[in-house]
Amino acid sequence: MAGTPDRLSSGFAPGEAEGVADLLARAAAAGLPLSEDEARGLLTSVRRLDAMGDEVRALIDPAVEPAGPAVAPWRTPRS
């Protein structure tokens, strides 16, 4: 059952069962069908995305984006 690692299959690495259970819970909340095997396969990717989230937050500098993020490359101070 989503969110309860003790109900998952056995054979998980340390910390993996909790991660898979968390993904299953979040997938269920999002209405996304996801099997235990699929969640297990996704875990590394999701953790990598989480790490990337930390990485990009470290880049943010409010001084260069006073009006918030801009998408179009020509919408820059140079133009």
Partner 1 sequence: MADPTVVKAESLAFAPIATAAAAIRSGAVSPTELTEAALARITAVDPVLHSFVLVAADLARAQAARAEEELAAGVDRGPLHGIPVGLKDLYATKGIRTTAHSRVLIDWVPDEDASVVVRLREAGAVLVGKHGMAEFAFGGPASDGVFPAPRNPWNLDHEPGGSSSGSGAAVAAGLCFGALGSDTGGSIRKPAAHCGIVGLKPTWGRVSRHGVVPLAWSLDHAGPLARTVDDAAILLGTIAGPDPLDATASGEPVPDYRAGLEQGVRGLRLGVAWDWVHEMGTIDPDVLAAFEAALGVLEAEGAETVPIPSAALIAGRATNTLIITAEAYAYHEAGLREHPERYGRSVRGRFRGGAFMGAADYLAANRARTVLRSQVREILGGVDAIVSPTCARPPEPLVGLDPDARFREPSFVNPYNLLGIPAISVPCGFSATGLPIGLQIAAGPFEEPLVLRVARAYERATPWHDRHPALG
- Residues at the contact surface with partner 1, assessed by CB under 8 A: 23, 26-27, 30-34, 38, 41-42, 45-46, 48-49, 52-53, 55-57, 59-61, 64-65, 68-74, 76, 78-79
Min dist CB 72 to partner 1, Å, is 6
The greatest distance separating any two alpha carbons of the chain, rounded to the nearest whole angstrom, comes to: 59
CB 39 within 8 A of CB 24: yes
Pick the closer one to partner 1 by CB: 12 or 27: 27
1 vs 60, beta carbon nearer partner 1? 60
Compute CA distances 15 → 9, 32, 33, whole Å: 14, 23, 23
Smaller CB separation from partner 1, 10 or 58: 58
CA distances from 36 to 11, 20, 50, 64, 73 (A): 12, 7, 20, 43, 42
> What's the min distance (Å) between Cβ of 39 and partner 1?
9
